[in-house]
Amino acid sequence: MRCPRIEVDLSKIRRNTKTVARRLGPLGIGVTGVTKAVCGHPAIGQAMLDGGALGLAEARISNVQRLRQAGITCPVTLIRTPMLSQVDEVVHFCEASYNTEIAVIAALASVAISKDKIHGIILMVEMGDQRDGILPENLADIAQQVMKMTGVVLKGIGANFACLSGVAPTASQMATLATLANELEGVCGPVLKTVSGGNSANLPWALGEQTTGRINDLRLGEAILLGVEPVSGDRIGKMHTDAFTLVAEVIETETKPTPFPIALVDPTLARLHIVPTSGATTRLILAIGHQDTDISGLSLPVGCALIGATSDHLVIEVNRCTMKPGSEVRFQMNYKALMHAMAAPDIEVKLLNDPLTKQPLQIQGKSEHLTLVWKNLA
């Protein structure tokens, strides 16, 4: 098999999606599957839909195009504010988009009119993450402007948490968002079909003891893909944390002294003494590096220690080594490492348990109630 590669167990993604969808459903919250970390991979998006996601969400229009070209016909929402240079593609490929700028919304409306379409607008509200969002005091005014436009329809509001700030939402913040929805409808009428509370960081709140109020949607990526809660990194209930495995190939294995003898070119450095340690260690050099993934986000196999990495090489130390050039080493990844690896041009994606093929497909480039288990997986 080719290396490096990512092995994707689609059955685990389906089960993770089914778990959160079945747990959140009775609370009145639907699941929107977020595929941006996997570059809009169609098979992964389809696995989310098969597991119960009501639609998909993306941050890049190129990823949406990839989904559409593969035959995905479900509603797809662009969750990053559209670029003015891409409003035509946004209206063509997406049913709705999250927005913060009235000029962008007006451009979307103009394109929608020319295409004889109606584009859904969800207004993103700033609730403390300090990334994208309309200040709450300006929300009603912008919403009223959207209501007056043809070509677009005010579909809902949403908020974002734990992305830039890294801080999970509080019950008070979620109650405030629900209040904003009620107040907005007091001005504009009952127009909000979607009140999107946030992302995977919202799960502890959603599954807590308090009521969820007006919140009827969560945009879930990391929880479905990796089975963890983003802020703590802890596993969620019995969710699968190993749906993705990065496989790298060994290109050198040698037992080298520690530390390696150094020839001192500068005689003034001769006074430095390197104290040798006992024994020798085996170092493996793997054909993967910083260009391929976030090395700090890899979980090494038991018995291995990270020595370092360069652009194209990863060096690990092992206690006992039976490997040789051509052997493979398998890693689990955090969200950042997964995101980088899925976008790396030299990493192949191999699909496992794909119901459409019944066989592993290679493409380039019983349900449990969900409870939070605060267990450190490291």
DSSP string, 185-236: HHHH-S--SEEE--SGGGHHHHTSSS--TT--EEEESHHHHHSB-TTT--BB
Helices 136-148 and 171-188: crossing angle, nearest 10°? 40
**pLDDT score of 265:** 55
Q: Which CATH architecture has domain 244-363?
A: Beta Barrel (2.40)
Reported confidence tier of residue 73, pLDDT bands at 50, 70, 90? very high
The rounded distance, in Å, linking the Cα atoms of 44 and 37 is 11
Choice among 213-222, 227-236, 267-276, 342-351 with the minimum mean pLDDT? 267-276
Neighbours of 314 (CB within 10 A): 27
Q: What percentage of residues in the chain have a pLDDT greater than 70? A: 87
- Hey, do 9-226 and 244-363 end up sharing a CATH topology, with the first three levels equal? no
Q: What is the mean pLDDT of residues 58-62?
A: 97
Q: What is the mean pLDDT of residues 175-184?
A: 94
Q: What is the mean pLDDT of residues 345-365?
A: 71
9-226: CATH number:
3.20.20.10
**378 pLDDT more than 60:** no
Q: Which of 362, 356, 345, 358 is CA-nearest to residue 39? A: 345
Average pLDDT, the chain: 88
Residue 56: CB partners within 8 Å, gap ≥ 6?
32, 33, 34, 35, 45, 48, 49, 67, 72, 74, 75, 76, 77
**pLDDT score of 366:** 29
Decide if 292 contacts 3 (C-beta within 8 A): no
Domain boundaries, the chain: 9-226, 244-363
Dump pLDDT digits (tens) for 257-316: 656 555 555 555 444 444 444 455 788 999 999 999 999 999 999 889 999 999 999 999
**pLDDT score of 274:** 41
Decide if 63 contacts 88 (C-beta within 8 A): no
Choice among 22-36, 72-86, 164-178, 225-239 with the minimum mean pLDDT? 164-178
**pLDDT score of 357:** 60
Dump pLDDT digits (tens) for 21-49: 999 999 999 999 999 999 999 999 999 99
* Stated pTM of the model: 0.86
